Amino acid sequence: MSQYNIVVATDESTVVSEYVPEYSAGNAYQSEAELEQAFIKQLQAQGYAYLPIHHEAELIANLRHQLELFNGYTFTENEWDRFFTNNLASKNEGIIEKTRKIQIDHVQILQRDDGTTKNIYLLDKKNIHNNRLQVINQYEETQGQHKTHYDVTILVNGFPLVHVELKRRGVAIREAFNQIKRYQRESFWAASGLFEYVQIFVISNGTHTKYYSNTTRSYHIKETSEAERSQSKKTSNSFEFTCYWADANNKPIPDLMDFTKTFFAKHTLLNVLTKYCVFTTENLLLVMRPYQIVATERILSKIEITSNYKKTGTIEAGGYIWHTTGSGKTLTSFKTAQLASMLPYIDKVLFVVDRKDLDYQTMKEYDRFQKGAANSNTSTRILQRQLEDPSAKIIITTIQKLDRFISLNRTHDVYKKHVVIIFDECHRSQFGDMHRKIIKSFKNYHLFGFTGTPIFAVNASNNGNPLMKTTEQVFGDKLHTYTIVDAINDGNVLPFRIDYINTVKMKDRVEDKSVCAIDTEKALEAPERIREIVSYILDHFDQKTKRNSFYTLKGQRVAGFNSILAVSSIPMAMKYYTELKRQLAERGRELMVATIFSYSANEADPEDVFPDENFDTDSLPPTAREFLGSAIADYNAAFNVNFDTSADKFENYYKDLSLRVKKREVDLLVVVNMFLTGFDATTLNTLWVDKNLRLHGLLQAFSRTNRILNSVKTYGNIVCFRNLQKETDEAIALFGDKDAGSIVLLKDYDSYYHGYNDEHGKHQPGYIELIEELQTKFPLGQAITGEARQKEFIKLYGAILRLKNILTAFDNFEGNEILAERDFQDYLSVYIDLYQEFSKAKENEKEKINDDIVFEIELIKQIEINIDYILMLVAKYHASNCKDKSILVSIDKAIGSSTQLRSKRELIKNFIETINASTNVDEDWRAFVLKQKEADLNAIVGEENLKFEETKKFLDNAFRDGVLRTTGTDIDKILPPISRFAVAGSREAKKQGIITKLMSFFEKYFGLV
């Protein structure tokens, strides 16, 4: 492989420290073509070579030439054909396999003509500037489902690794995203499939520019297609996982020209592609966000500088990273540990977690990023063996095991080794004896901490060593900050919406505050109060957790979200669990309620930092342990498992409970301190709080609810049964900034219902105003003619859908919806009609794509009707002896307002025509569907001469998996044989016709049987 002689080497930061925008847009209109040319011109100024390549033959020829130059080797014709066909463009490989080649297997073996082998490098990951960058535009793909032209593509050593899709200024950036989605579906796989090598997509309308990874894109398309073809509505909206580039101060760089000067700087792009992507064991490509890269590089820089200046073993050799909860600290710490372990002078990287639950979760996360990259351990003996094993470069351990190891080994060779010690959450559990033991025993170390909520002087403990009270005193300088305000602005976490429910009316203040405190605590623990709170929770549970909303979670249809109830003590947890079970039985309602707690020396409300509970059940009072055992027995019965309060089984109970909460199998979890820090579940949207919280502890607990899942989940829902408003404001001011409240917390009901003026003084219309505008401008029964008026309606109704999604969580919205349900369905039908009309125009009239509208389809799907509701109406019609024709109107309107049921309209209509006095609606519907399904399948097989058994198996797998897979070899197995002398392209045309019929069949019957 050719090498440049390095004259001067610099460790230039991947992310620019501070960026001052240089680009100033002109006043003249700029077309998409002009934007594209300006972009390419800027890339050329930055050293990219422009190539006038527009067709596959040219792309392949350039790839060969680039690999020959890069490897200093000339392929023979046979060698190239063999290498290209088998190694680079195999028909059996898709996006995942090609991504693995770029990220992991970038050295491929060439079988030479003389029988020998040679390593062919696809990339140079050590000396990144040996890689060659080229840019092409308007590449034409003719072999996909439609003839397409791709905007701009970056080639690295001839491989298309970055694709850029542009829209003119003023067009929604989501349309560039949707364009790539169409290419992914229709053409990236076509011909030799070289565009499946794309690692990163960039989308821009000139004003706003974002990036995201390819296999994540592919994964979310798969998730989406599974949901869209089922009654299970919709899952993660992958547009929400796109990311802005930013400088090291977290200031976004959205303008395309500014983005190009920073993100597309050669060293930045090549670093991102070769160093700051992680290909997980789940076959997902994660591309790191700018703040994650900055944190990683600042730690690596600190290691290098302090090693050179012999500062190891001092506080100057370390530091801490303040990245807010939910911002991806585990990925950042993994990449940091991985890169640090590759430094030739580093012997070990210890990743230390402060609780066993974090140990378990972190290990699972590390395993997800790279199998075997980290060595976890289950005992101090195994920890010792790994510390003594030179090949164990990264070790995950708990603070308790490390403490035990040091206590048992006063002297050990590892203490002399050059080690990096990273704490996952640098809270107060590291501020005492354990920390002193580490810095006393290890001599040649770097100590780093990650935290979402640092300890400052204002929230420092009054106890302990006065020189080790704050995070900075213990770990050293703050190396990088990314606050909750940054994360919410970037769309990486959700804001919070808080309800304060007053359950105790405080008496007038008295001089003896201890008496007042005793009275208050007594009132808080009163059975009447607990009964009222439980009643409130059950009355509002469906509303708060959105149980009328459906989506797909890992292939399973689930309704709404789940929640945690945080209480002040173990006795309170016992009372709440008992009362919840009692009221559920009384109401005849099924909700999966679980609880977990263990002994803590600091049992009373800790308010700020939650104590380590360490799975210690032996020290629980007998009544508490007996109660916990009975609650676990309830859990065992529900899930057919076998856990108890013994040491090993209780820890396994925690792990099993953790997974079931993440899968949304547990509806309500009652906790004291567990699960309130370090636990991430995207399905959690509500925290019920009957517990004193403040500062660090408050934000940690609240942040269990604000992980992004889909557009239905727009905020973390907090319901406080204690007045924590002052504490909430203080926590947000400390960990965001003093003016952060309007960003971190959603506004109140009146603001969304009646409207409000934002921070810029601009009026944001409320729900009442939007409904009034809708009824005035677009009265029901009048056609909406003309594209301009249609777009106005789409924009207005989308705004109503978004507001309604927020308002449904407020108690006082019920009964104030203004629109009757039938009117709402009528408007919804019009909205869906327009969606299908515009979508069809996009497919059939490529020159007439409407780029300036966005449909809120995900919000539609989470409220739409399912087949059970339709059958209920059919049963009602049957009960009227088929005479109440108004029910038929209701059925038709309900079907029209559902994107999922429209494909089933004819089937439902035909069934209604068959019902009579002897009809059992549910049983007869199932029999009717099965009979029609079999008849339709036989018709397709006969018309297309398909192989019956193979086709039936293919469709059975599709109904099982929730998606009809039209790529790969399975679809080819069902096709009839076609003569090799057939007209070119006829087989592909025949295949597409069959796929269209099978897709219609699948959409018609999925979710019905």
Question: Contact 485/743 with Cβ under 8 angstroms?
Answer: yes
Question: Contact 153/52 with Cβ under 8 angstroms?
Answer: no
Would you state the structure tokens that stand for residue 51, as one six-digit string?
């190539």
SS3 track for 744-809: HECCCHHHHHHEEECCCCCEEECHHHHHHHHHHHCCCCCCCCCHHHHHHHHHHHHHHHHHHHHHCC
Note the pLDDT of residue 63.
97
Q: Compute the distance between CA of residue 829 and CA of residue 860 in angstroms, rounded to an integer.
A: 10
Classify each residue of 296-322 as buried b or exposed e, where b means 16 or more C-beta atoms within 10 Å of its C-beta.
Answer: bbbbbebbeebbeeeebbeeebbbbbb
DSSP string of 552-588?
Answer: EETTEEEES-EEEEEESSHHHHHHHHHHHHHHHHHHT
Q: Compute the distance between CA of residue 800 and CA of residue 819 in angstroms, rounded to an integer.
A: 11
Note the pLDDT of residue 170.
80
Q: Compute the distance between CA of residue 260 and CA of residue 994 in angstroms, rounded to an integer.
A: 44
Residues 6+ apart with CB under 8 A from 234: 224, 227, 228, 551, 552, 710, 712, 857, 858, 861, 862
At residue 707, what is the residue type? Answer: R
Q: Compute the distance between CA of residue 925 and CA of residue 883 in angstroms, rounded to an integer.
A: 20
Furthest-apart CA pair in the chain: how many Å?
A: 100
Residues 6+ apart with CB under 8 A from 80: 64
Note the pLDDT of residue 236.
33
Q: Compute the distance between CA of residue 689 and CA of residue 721 in angstroms, rounded to an integer.
A: 6
Would you state the structure tokens that stand for residue 482, as one six-digit string?
């990314």
Note the pLDDT of residue 75.
97
> Distances from the Cα of 424 to the Cαs of 254, 438, 484, 807, in angstroms?
31, 16, 18, 37
Q: Compute the distance between CA of residue 719 and CA of residue 421 in angstroms, rounded to an integer.
A: 38
Note the pLDDT of residue 967.
60
Residues 6+ apart with CB under 8 A from 385: none
Question: Contact 354/612 with Cβ under 8 angstroms?
Answer: yes
Question: Contact 973/954 with Cβ under 8 angstroms?
Answer: yes
Question: Contact 551/232 with Cβ under 8 angstroms?
Answer: yes
> Distances from the Cα of 681 to the Cαs of 423, 564, 597, in angstroms?
22, 11, 19
Rg value, the chain, Cα:
31
Note the pLDDT of residue 237.
42
Note the pLDDT of residue 697.
86
Q: Compute the distance between CA of residue 966 and CA of residue 972 in angstroms, rounded to an integer.
A: 9
Q: Compute the distance between CA of residue 259 and CA of residue 239 in angstroms, rounded to an integer.
A: 19
Q: Compute the distance between CA of residue 747 and CA of residue 948 in angstroms, rounded to an integer.
A: 58
Distance between the two ends of the chain, CA-based, in angstroms? 59
| DSSP 8-state secondary structure symbol assigned to residue 115 | S
> Distances from the Cα of 541 to the Cαs of 561, 580, 719, in angstroms?
10, 12, 11
Give the residue among 285, 306, 302 at the shortest CA–CA distance from 294.
302
Low-confidence ranges of the chain (pLDDT < 50): 1-10, 217-237, 357-359, 430, 506-518, 605-607, 843-849, 864
Note the pLDDT of residue 844.
46
The residue written with tokens 């370390």 in the block is 318
Residues 6+ apart with CB under 8 A from 762: none
Would you state the structure tokens that stand for residue 559, as one six-digit string?
């309704």
